[in-house]
Chains A and B, each alone.
Chain A
């Protein structure tokens, strides 16, 4: 440490932000030095997003100050943040689909953009320098998710950038893409840029970051040097002492096919959709099959075909225990014993304006909540209360509107609603998305219990760690095609990563084994 070390590039002092019913940030302190890669760790709902919005001028803190290169400043809006040299890569991209890469970047640069053709040249140079080739002329809607993230990063790099904030940047990438992102970030930091890396993935933080600040329930629960910690100690900082952080579940393989998909092809009408190509999959009774994949590779289309939102003319394409169902609408599939947890919580998983009781009724009506065509409200209310109770849903009660719940709590409610109906087949998309570790563990346990009762479960998720934890067999979907599905112990993160990127080839000795 030098005697006169420069002031931190960014310093947060006592940031406090109160939302109605929720203290999002409580007296948060954070320092980032030039050229430092700093991790902001925390679970969903710990206050990471709010803090980063404060830095970027999207949210005004109630108390506390922000120091930039040692001087107190007030970041009024994102435009000012950008002028100061702060760039941000959002978790949900802030790109305009109908505009080209150059136009998108020109918009963010404001008046400094200059002529578009010169900017395009600059984009090419910068993107090649950092090993993230992109074609400036392409329109955003033609790009993959990984490419879109590159556009967001390059958008920050073409300016004079001093602090780059990345919000959960790896959640949309394959493991291989993550590696190359890290190379770019290290190069950037070595040139003096500070990086704030927001994540809840401990392994990534350990691999990349110099220092870490851990948030729990809005407060700083600890600071550490990730390289010197093990993941368990960091996880404890994130979730507190009383929550178990690692569990393993015994793997099982079923033998009686319950859910069969044979040669499912689907032509998507959506211009941003993916066509499904020759999907074959069997899920046996008593096992969990996990499908990994980067968002937008056909998961949505596959799920719609399974739920019955999209019908196939040939009923035999999808069978539930030999019953052809591919041409049956959702209610008939549910009558058969299907439980379904869609990707979108508000709008498809639950009706935002309806109370929890009414939402419970929406799919629960088949399990005795109706009598002679009339709603048995008492039973529906009891059912809703049971879900709230068993899955520890934080809500103002069964009368609360679905959209008044936080994402994680609504997720718990929807999962609970489906599992408690004891489905024979359960299809769940991102079952623990946005849910804290304690609740995620509860959901995993419920899935395992359901499996042990003999249900066939298909989990589609972007969270590879989760899939390895709960799946008995695992595969990946890429660009509408499904990889071979193998028993989880025989697969590896590297292999799954290759499959997520579309390389379905088996490694050499396995290849010869099939000959």
Chain B
């Protein structure tokens, strides 16, 4: 992004909208599916996700049980649907927490002057020295396992990354040509901040957040897989994956389907994030 491109906002109106790609359409369709699964899972379910039927355990996928049955005879398809809300809720909330904290820290560093920039920068570097998942584990050790803790843990662990990107954007935009021009034209600090700096610096955050949800879902699943997130018998994707792992050599459907949901969700958010990024780039 050159300054010229960034400041040439007049182009925006004339750019022809590109037709959405097939991938984007598929991703949007999957998001719609996930949304229904989250808000009204019973519309999609074929059975009670918690109802056990030991005599029907370990049945492979069939017309009656699309994704087969698990070790307690529960319907895997209905459990995967039921788990969507938990997994997505953890993903979205964790991203929101991470982003909010990132905004606060990044804002302080990018706009608060040298001393604050230095302090936040060093704290961030210390946090970066730990892998995010380790930080999340630490938080869970302190507060005990559970979906809420997992959400907070993932959120807190992703915050430093957001903070750093937000600070970078703020610094770039603050010293850009159009901001300087606005200052020269005599606009007040608040007006420049509100009209020019924030909108331009924060636009990429939408893209980041979309990409982040996918990552957060993977992290949340990882924590549940380790037994630190959702507790039994709650059907969370990571927890299902973990429970099915025992039978991976004899009942593949216990791991493949929850795993597929995690993969598809991550791919979907990535595709959408990129589409948003492309649109955002074109707009500028």
Partners in one complex: no
